[in-house]
Structure 1
Amino acid sequence: MSNDVHAGLDSDAELWTRVRAGDMAAFRAVHDRHAPRVYRHCYARIGDHAEAAEAVNQVFLTAWLRRNKITAGPDGLLPWLIVTASNTARNHLRSLRRRDALIDRAAAAADRDGWATYNAAVRDALDRLNAAGRAVVALCLIEGYTYEEAARELGVPVGTVRSRLSRAKERLRGELEKKGLDCREGDV
């Protein structure tokens, strides 16, 4: 095995064995080797340089967090990274659409009632959720985590995340509708 991981002489499998042991230099070598391809893949799906770069960061963070569960196949790590990039880009786009829809609704509410009124209504609705509800809303709706990522972060089963999020969204819709704000399924 080469001592210089950046020379590109080590296979993905050799590097990943070292990554699993916590070797950051090996992880940097994997990143340097595959980040340009992962970036092109994300950019092709997202269409924005900054957002694609953010998606690439998420892919490699996921790789690091899951390093002990990932195995370099016969084609190396690139297939796993590209599948993860596709999922990350899809989730990122979904999060961007939700953010844009929220901004549009906020702008409409600001035109109608003033920004402070809308902002206060959203804060009040979030405050009425229990801690578990606020946590899944923050992770899934605001941060764009998948159910699986949120479950890992919270230390609960995926089904628990799904049910908590469903109840929290229903409660948020109800609270915002009480304030006269239009909330459709899929918006919240």
Structure 2
Amino acid sequence: MSTWTETPRLRLRRFTPADAGALAALHGDAVVMRFVEDGRPIAREVVECETLPEILAEYRTLPAEHGCFAAVIAETDQFAGWFSVRPATSRGLDRGGTEVGYRLRPAVWGRGFATEGLQAVLRKAFAELGAARVVATTMAVNTRSRRVLEKAGLGLVRTFFLEWPEYLEGAEHGDVEYALSREEWVSSTARH
């Protein structure tokens, strides 16, 4: 399977139909989904019949090399989660750019994989995909994800509030947008 990008410990590649079980387990985990969408796990049938087919279709419909990519631990080939790079279209984003995101299994949390993978995605976005600006969002109360975004080099732009169909604990604190420009990324990489 071809590699989209890699780090010393992770290999990111396109999803395949064979990833249905691993993706369903990830999206079906209540802890993983706590701060995502409506805060509820997604049923296996929905992941298999809707989510994964949408991810696979994006490889044809999004700009080249954009989409959602399975992250596997290089040493073991174990599924760790996913990272994405797409045109910025999430609710609340109105300034354009390229949006990045990630979702990882709790078993790999706290080991630096999120920051490592996100830094590789940023490198790919700026150095190869021509991104001028990269953005990401999360709930304001999602302190772990906010820390990952900051460690990867993105800076807080604003807090914003959206109307959601159902209350999600912590939503009253809003969502946050983080961003990094190409110039900031180049300057940061030149210092390291």
Query: TM-score, structure 2 length as denominator?
Result: 0.25
Question: Which has the higher relative contact order, 1 or 2, with Cα contacts under 8 A spaced 6 or more apart?
Answer: 2
> Which structure's CA Rg is the greater one?
1
Higher helix share: 1
Query: TM-score, structure 1 length as denominator?
Result: 0.25
